[in-house]
Amino acid sequence: MKQLGIIFLILILGEFSNEISAQKKGRAVVCFQSDMDCADCEKNLNEYLRFEKGIKDLKVDHASNTIFIEYVEKKNDDKGFAAAIEKKGYKAEKISKEKYDELVAIAKDLHEHGQEVHQERD
């Protein structure tokens, strides 16, 4: 029983140290809800955003209309990414990581590409 407690404590400390090391790297995460219509919108936005300064991880998904960006804080910020998204003609509504995860999970459960109905862009 004592060994189980020690293992549990080590796991908790390991998670805490991972969070601290992520903060030491100076990285941040921002998520946006957008208004992409199709896979081409996703591709175009992904190709455009990957060249923004500071990007370390980028996930653009038209099914959930979400954008996940992990970036180096000193090289860019939320407003800079929002401006880049809007420059390409898309909405960039900042959302929490929890909301992002929720939208992606819902889209994953519901999205069947063969039955997808795409909207026409104004």
Give the model confidence (pLDDT) of 30-71 as tens digits: 999 999 989 999 999 999 999 999 999 999 999 999 999 999
Q: How far apart are CA 60 and CA 50, in angstroms?
A: 10
Which residue type, as a one-letter code, is found at position 69? Answer: I
Sheet holding 27-33, edge to edge: 55-61, 66-72, 27-33, 93-95
pTM over 0.95: no
**Do residues 44 and 89 lie in contact, with contact meaning Cβ atoms separated by under 8 Å?**
no
Domain ranges of the chain: 26-112
Q: What's the full length of the chain, in residues? A: 122
What's the CATH number of domain 26-112, 3.30.70.260, 3.40.640.10, 3.40.190.10, 3.30.70.100? 3.30.70.100
Question: What is the per-residue pLDDT across 65-122, written as a single tens digit (0 to 9) for each?
Answer: 999 999 999 999 999 999 999 999 999 999 999 999 999 999 888 865 544 554 555 5
